[in-house]
């Protein structure tokens, strides 16, 4: 499973085209109502920040039993043995710091947490992202942003496709590879205002559970390897301005340790993991094909979510991959806002345990 591919970018007069496209964009009524309630005049802009402070995962401060969070819920529904939990009756905007810490740990343990009927403004969504990211969120130069909130609230909307293509083209000319952060996102919060009447489900797979499907011998092999990961978008080269924009490459471990749970996770993604460092192409391609298939083909380590308007999903990008079911074919409006918190530089701790080992599930 991988994110939907973005169409090739356009090179024609980006600034003038962006201005004309902005004037044509009208978000769905449910989105406009949420933005107006938050005091936001609709527009789109873009900026980027990098992590400036050390990261302490809020889940490391949490009560393992999550008593403060669970006591506020009418019901806690686990959707799958391995991942996915729905909290019923909890409003994200009303959480205390203690409850936010416990929410972070719940997401870290369950991969993705869902909350329906959320009355949360883009500003409040951003504030929660800053808390989960210890003061840092991703502000992407090639994605549409909700204006006037300080940056970092990305618009997810097929209706802005042409605008985003022009935005990418413009960003490629003024954003260089050297500015791209080495830190992949951690907790990600997607709030959906408008959804198809049917279809458009999102699926997540657990990196913890994918790791647990590997044999001990294969785990040992992977734990000594690093992957070459690429940025989602392309950037210019400051040292060679005439070179075409290209993806940024970063080196990260194939098996990653989560700081809050201490569990090992398979850390690969078909759209982002280009190759395995130090291996021949045939070796790398063969191993990655197998790892991708483990994540994508085993339905028992996946959860599928059917959206309703006003629903939030918070997942951990360090241990999850996800994709949208395109069964609605983009024929109806789908609109949401997303905030991704920046986390730690990926690392592997040889003393860490697998999820099954830590929870005693093999016994």
pTM for the model stands at 0.84
Residue 270 lies in a domain: yes
The residue behind tokens 């999102």 is 202
Residue 209 lies in a domain: yes
The residue behind tokens 């294969």 is 218
Residue 2 lies in a domain: no
**Does 260 or 138 have the greater pLDDT score?**
260
Phi-psi domain of 138 (left: phi exceeds 0; alpha: psi -120 through 50; beta: other): beta
**Does 271 or 109 have the greater pLDDT score?**
109
Residue 89 lies in a domain: yes
Q: Which pLDDT tens digit goes with each residue over 292-331?
A: 999 999 999 999 999 999 999 999 999 999 999 988 887 7
Instruction: Give the domain CATH number at 109.
Output: 3.60.130.10
Residue 160 lies in a domain: yes
Q: Are 186 and 318 in contact (CB under 8 A)?
A: yes
Residue 5 lies in a domain: no
Residue 190 lies in a domain: yes
Residue 9: is its pLDDT beyond 70?
no
Residue 203: is its pLDDT beyond 50?
yes
How many domains are contained in the chain?
Answer: 1
Between helix 14-24 and helix 161-174 the angle, nearest 10°, is 150
Q: Which pLDDT tens digit goes with each residue over 28-67?
A: 777 777 777 777 655 544 333 455 678 999 999 999 999 9
Q: Which pLDDT tens digit goes with each residue over 251-305?
A: 999 999 999 999 999 999 999 999 999 999 999 999 999 999 999 999 999 999 9
Residue 1 lies in a domain: no
**Does 51 or 227 have the greater pLDDT score?**
227
Task: With H, G, I as helix, E, B as strand and everything else as coil, classify residue 228.
Answer: strand
The residue behind tokens 């204006």 is 147
The parent domain of residue 334 ranges over 14-359
Mean pLDDT, the chain, whole residue set = 85
Collect all residues with Cβ–Cβ distance below 8 Å to 243 and sequence separation of at least 6.
Answer: 236, 237
Torsion angle (degrees, nearest 10) of CA 101, 126, 29, 190 = -50
pLDDT-derived band at 162, boundaries 50, 70, 90: low
Strand 320-324 with 302-305, pairing = unpaired
């Amino acid at each position: 499973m991988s994110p939907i591919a973005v169409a090739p970018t356009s090179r024609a007069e980006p600034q003038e085209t962006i201005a004309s496209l902005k004037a044509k964009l009208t978000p769905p009524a449910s989105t406009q109502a949420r933005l107006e309630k938050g005091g936001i005049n609709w527009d789109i802009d873009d900026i980027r920040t990098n992590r400036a402070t050390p990261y302490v995962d809020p889940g490391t401060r949490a009560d393992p039993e999550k008593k403060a969070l669970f006591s506020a819920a009418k019901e806690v529904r686990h959707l799958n043995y391995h991942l996915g939990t729905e909290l019923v009756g909890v409003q994200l905007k009303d959480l205390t710091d203690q409850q936010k810490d416990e929410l972070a740990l719940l997401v870290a343990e369950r991969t993705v947490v869902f909350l329906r009927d959320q009355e949360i403004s883009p500003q409040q969504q951003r504030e929660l992202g800053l808390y989960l990211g210890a003061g840092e969120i991703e502000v992407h130069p090639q994605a549409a942003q909700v204006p006037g909130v300080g940056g970092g609230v990305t618009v997810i909307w097929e209706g802005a496709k042409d605008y985003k293509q022009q935005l990418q083209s413009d960003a490629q000319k003024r954003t260089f590879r050297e500015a791209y952060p080495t830190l992949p996102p951690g907790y990600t919060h997607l709030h959906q205002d408008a959804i198809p009447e049917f279809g458009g489900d999102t699926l997540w797979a657990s990196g913890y559970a994918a790791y647990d499907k590997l044999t001990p011998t294969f785990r040992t092999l992977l734990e000594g390897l690093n992957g070459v990961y690429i940025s989602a978008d392309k950037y210019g080269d400051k040292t060679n301005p005439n070179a075409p924009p290209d993806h940024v490459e970063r080196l990260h471990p194939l098996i990653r340790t989560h700081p809050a749970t201490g569990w090992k996770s398979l850390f690969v993604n078909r759209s982002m993991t280009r190759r395995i460092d130090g291996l021949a192409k045939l070796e790398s391609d063969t191993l990655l094909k197998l790892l991708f298939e483990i994540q994508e083909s085993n339905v028992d380590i996946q959860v599928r979510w059917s959206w309703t308007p006003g629903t939030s999903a918070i997942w951990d990008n360090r241990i999850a991959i996800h994709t949208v079911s395109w069964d609605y074919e983009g024929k109806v409006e789908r609109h949401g806002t997303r905030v991704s918190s920046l986390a730690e530089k990926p690392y592997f701790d040889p003393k860490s345990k697998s999820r099954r080992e830590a929870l005693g599930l093999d016994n």
